[in-house]
Amino acid sequence: MAPPTKLPRGIRTTTYNTKDGVVVKYRVEITRKGWNGKRNNLFDTLNEAKAFLLLSKNKDGQEFIYQTEERTKSIDEYEWKDGDFTFGYFAKKYLDEYVFNVIADTELKRRNQAMKKAFITKICDISIEYRNLTGDEKEEMGQERDAIIYRHFRAFDIREIDHIDINNYIKMRLKGDKKHRAVKPVSVARELTYISNVFNKLIHFDKSLSRVRNPTKDYDKDLLRNIINVRKRVLTKDEEDKFIEVISNYVSHKAKHRGQFKNICLLSLLTSMRRSEVVFLTKQQIKDDFTYIHLPITKSGRSRDVYLDETAKQFLRELEPMGENGRYFTYTNYGFARVFETLMKKHNLDIHYHDLRRTKISRMMALGGDENTILVAKLLGFQSARKFEFQHKRNRGLGSQSSMLDTFGHGSIDTNFRHYTHIISDDLKQMERFKSLIEKKENGSISQDENNELLDIFLKMTK
């Protein structure tokens, strides 16, 4: 297949003559200030080259690249053959059939593909104790019978990997070795997720592997205890005032971005949407006369709807698209992130962009109450009400929602969330009216009738 006539800046084609004909590959060369040495990487597809180039422009992405390159070979450089039962063989099949099986036509997709490949490559190159050699086999290798032999994880027979090997993998990652530096427990937990993903797909690669148990289900949980370190930062009123002052005074040196930075920030405060979801928002995603925003691609890979209150509706009605194809903004995800981080440091503000999302969620919880997490999670477009509760619910006591789940006969909050809870316009109007009455009560302008209405709504929301 012929290469495109115009390639992104930083990518060029390289051709090789082989017995099967001419092979085209894509080379990415990077020489950048602050970068740990030069990079000269070759990729089989243009999508992979673009993904690598995008990662190199972001601090977290550079960390992935640095860790991935603490190795001798890429997972693509090995000769994997049919009939192979090594972890590396099936890890490569997982990447080919479940990660790079879709066209990465958005920046978010390319970044996700590159990061998944970085994790898989790193996992394959970790060496741990190989426990399946007999004393005789060690002697044949010229080793002592009680010698400890190490093998790359990619070379382990996937049928032999058990929970002890996973324990050894965890220990090795936590302490590091001569080739790989130690990593934090939360990073190891993420790597285990990718190991688990490969095992979960074995039955679809080879029917004979249907009885192979996923070893990540049985590892010693004490090895990674207390690893959850979720940032629960929300903005106080004073912090929000200072933040809005800072973003209002910022003027981009690029004319095409001017007037956009503040609006991107405010949209997250108004909707709880993630940075990439706001940056790439288009007018076509606003549905049903500004009732909700449809997000076709999210972090989870699934679509979701985010419902808008009156403030958010008015904000979007006054916002005009400034980019191509109906996009409201012209920033790239990484470009905006760099500006945001620099601006917060300049003004000594301990604010991450994701804090804006948490602040909105916190306010919705204050309106809906801790015992109405299904409604709030649905309004904000969460995929899982259980995960929402775990991350954002303050009160863990039993209440009206628990009783409601018992009444439905489905103990799982997510079962009810997915199949039995549907947002209708009355739900949204009730939440908006509740907010309006609360504001009136706080400023002392509420009438007796409105106070009664407020109590009535509150009782409906909690019964």
Query: What pTM, to 2 d.p., does this model score?
Result: 0.52
For residue 128, the cross-strand partners are: 151
What are the angstrom distances between the C-alpha of 319 and each of 81, 259, 393?
55, 11, 33
- Residue-level pLDDT at 77: 62
226 contacts 211 by C-beta, under 8 angstroms: no
DSSP 209: G
Q: What's the rounded Cα separation, in Å, for the pair 311 and 298?
A: 24
Residues in contact with 360: Cβ distance below 8 Å, sequence separation at least 6, in sequence order? 268, 269, 270, 271, 272, 380
pLDDT tens string 373-390: 555 555 555 556 565 555
User: Is pLDDT of 42 > 80?
Assistant: no
User: Is pLDDT of 24 > 70?
Assistant: yes
- Residue-level pLDDT at 446: 85
- Residue-level pLDDT at 18: 73
Residue 302, φ and ψ in degrees, nearest 5 = -110, 160
User: Is pLDDT of 130 > 90?
Assistant: yes
343 contacts 250 by C-beta, under 8 angstroms: yes
pLDDT tens string 163-210: 999 999 999 999 998 888 888 888 899 999 999 999 999 999 999 999
* Nearest by Cα to 290 from 267, 265, 257: 267
> According to the per-residue pLDDT averaged within each range, which of 45-49, 68-72, 156-160, 392-396 is highest?
156-160
Of 361 and 227, the one with more pLDDT: 361
Of 334 and 338, the one with more pLDDT: 338
Q: What's the rounded Cα separation, in Å, for the pair 374 and 423?
A: 10
* Mean pLDDT of all residues in 56-76: 57
Give percent of the chain with pLDDT exceeding 70.
72
Domains of the chain: 11-224 (no CATH), 237-419 (1.10.443.10), 425-462 (no CATH)
pLDDT tens string 237-289: 899 999 999 999 999 988 889 889 999 999 999 988 889 899 999 999 999 88
Q: What's the rounded Cα separation, in Å, for the pair 38 and 360?
A: 42
pLDDT tens string 79-111: 666 678 999 999 999 999 999 988 877 766 787
- Residue-level pLDDT at 33: 58
pLDDT tens string 217-226: 999 999 998 6
* Mean pLDDT of all residues in 410-421: 43
